[in-house]
Amino acid sequence: MKPKSAVRYVGSALLALGSAAALTLPAAAAATGDAFASPEMLTAMQRDLGLTADQATARVTNEMKAAEADAGLRGTLGSSYAGSHFADGSAKLTVSVTDAAKADAIRATGAEVRVVARSAAQLDAVKSTLDKADQQANGVSGWYVDTVSNRIVVTAKVVADGEKFVKASGADAAAITVLQSNEDPTTLYDVRGGDAYYMGGGRCSVGFSVQGGYVTAGHCGTVGTATQGFNRVASGSFRGSSFPGNDYAWVGTNSNWTPRGVVNRYNGGTVAVKGSSEAAVGASICRSGSTTGWRCGTVQAKNQTVRYPQGTVNGMTRTNACAEPGDSGGSWLAGNQAQGVTSGGSGNCSSGGTTYFFPVNPILSRYGLRLVTS
């Protein structure tokens, strides 16, 4: 029997996942850290996540190997797969599943097992119902799949507004939690000068190089918008762009520009990109942007819907790394793996905040692009 009040209000804030504590790997594994992340990224992780050098190396090694295991388990577990995450303070990946009979397959990879009520597909279906009711989400800042709680989380400044939205949407309220949140998401577009790329008087940041150009945020420009590089030399134009709904674009560059498989550190150095394997919830992640440079945090949730003043964007990833105007379109990396491009958020790098990025793999797939790697 369903409870009388299926929509729950839990606290006033989400807890950050994946703390610096208790990262213990064999010395041989830790020694391979440089294969998964550049020295610059490891330094940024130490600064923003409060890690020692050894902890940063061990953590990124562990998380990249866990990402490989998780990718394999998605196929093995099929429809019973319910997501994965790093529990707070743990270096061991937890994989959730709805079928207890498949626990041994998870344990065989070295991961922890958690049996839950809802599969990832079922949670996505609930979120999809909310997405379709976007026009009724007055006072709501967003909603996302929370792998840790095995529920959908709706955020609103006033809890009653979130509860009203859930009821109006027709979504399964028993699978939804409403959280009070003062977040007020905005896109991170800026009209000030800078050293990234320019378009129509504005400035955004390059995401990742692809064959023929680079990917970036959709709100930075529409198809046909001309671009200039960091040095104000004509560089190309937007060949594809989607915003709102999505927040991604790709810019085709002219023959004067050569896409390289690296991310600019804005200090004279670069970070190599080796691929685009998706990091788990709770994993450490770093971003680069032309306003605030390198900043790190952790992945808090995936499949986040965000309501901006310009419109709603679906399918994003939520993080606790900070960003500011002008960082839009910039790169997100987990180790040496490309994760996505900056969309927007709330807060800043003085007081902290929440930042969202659009995953890179769907962008590559949508436009048939190939990531340039080092």
Give the tens place of pLDDT for each residue, 291-306. 999 899 999 999 999 9
Range of lowest pLDDT (53-67, 124-138, 187-201)? 187-201
Residue 184 has which token pair? 């007020």
Helices (H) and strands (E) in the chain, counts: 7, 23
- Read off the pLDDT of residues 231-254 as tens digits, 9 standing for 90 and up: 888 999 999 999 999 999 999 999
Whole-number Å distance between alpha carbons of 330 and 344:
11
Buried-state track 181-220, b at ≥16 Cβ within 10 A, e below 16: bebebebbbbeeebebbbbeebbbbbbbbbebbbbbbbbb
Distance CA 248, CA 238 (A): 11
CB 342 within 8 Å of CB 366 = no
Contacts with 317 (C-beta within 8 Å, 6 or more apart), sequence order? 299, 301, 302, 304, 332, 339, 340, 356, 357, 358, 359
Q: Is the Cα torsion angle 28, 29, 30, 32 positive or negative in sign?
A: positive
Give the helix, strand, coil percentages of the chain, each rounded to 5.
25, 35, 40
Choice between 41 and 305, residue whose per-residue pLDDT is larger: 305
E strands along 168-277, which residues? 176-180, 186-187, 197-199, 202-204, 208-210, 213-216, 226-228, 234-242, 248-253, 262-264, 270-272
- Which has the minimum average pLDDT: 8-12, 84-88, 221-225, 250-254? 8-12
CA 243 vs. chain centroid, Å, equals: 17
Residue 258 and residue 269 in contact, taking contact as beta carbons nearer than 8 Å: no
Range 167-194 average pLDDT: 81
User: Cα 244 from chain centroid?
Assistant: 17
Quote the percentage of the chain above a pLDDT of 70: 89
pLDDT category, 81, cuts 50, 70, 90?
A: very high
**Angle of CA points 50, 56, 59, to nearest 5°:** 115
pLDDT in tens, 90-146: 899 999 999 999 999 999 999 999 999 999 999 999 999 999 999 999 999 999 999
* Both structure tokens of 156: 């609103």
Comparing 343 with 191, the larger pLDDT belongs to 343
C-beta of residue 187 within 8 angstroms of C-beta of residue 308 = yes
Asked if the model's pLDDT at residue 31 lies above 50, the reply is no
**pLDDT given for residue 264 in this prediction:** 78
| Burial tier of 370 (Cβ tally within 10 Å: 0-12, 13-18, 19+) | exposed
Which residues are annotated as catalytic?
219, 247, 328
132-166 pLDDT per residue, tens: 999 999 999 999 999 999 999 999 999 999 999 99
Residue 269's pLDDT band (cuts 50, 70, 90): confident
Q: Given pLDDT bands bounded at 50, 70 and 90, which one contains residue 16? A: very low
Q: What are phi and psi of 8, to 5 degrees?
A: -110, 145
The letter for the amino acid at 185 is P
pLDDT, mean of residues 51-60: 94
Yes or no: say if 97 and 80 are a contact pair by the CB < 8 Å rule: yes
Q: How far from 108 is each of 13, 72, 73, 90, 211, CA to CA, in Å?
A: 35, 12, 10, 18, 38
**Higher per-residue confidence, 186 vs 362:** 362
Residue 111 backbone dihedrals phi, psi, to 5 degrees:
-90, 160
Cα–Cα dist 352/187, whole Å: 16
Please report, for residues 200, 315, 327, the alpha-carbon distance to residue 236 in angstroms, rounded to integers and kept in the order given.
13, 28, 20
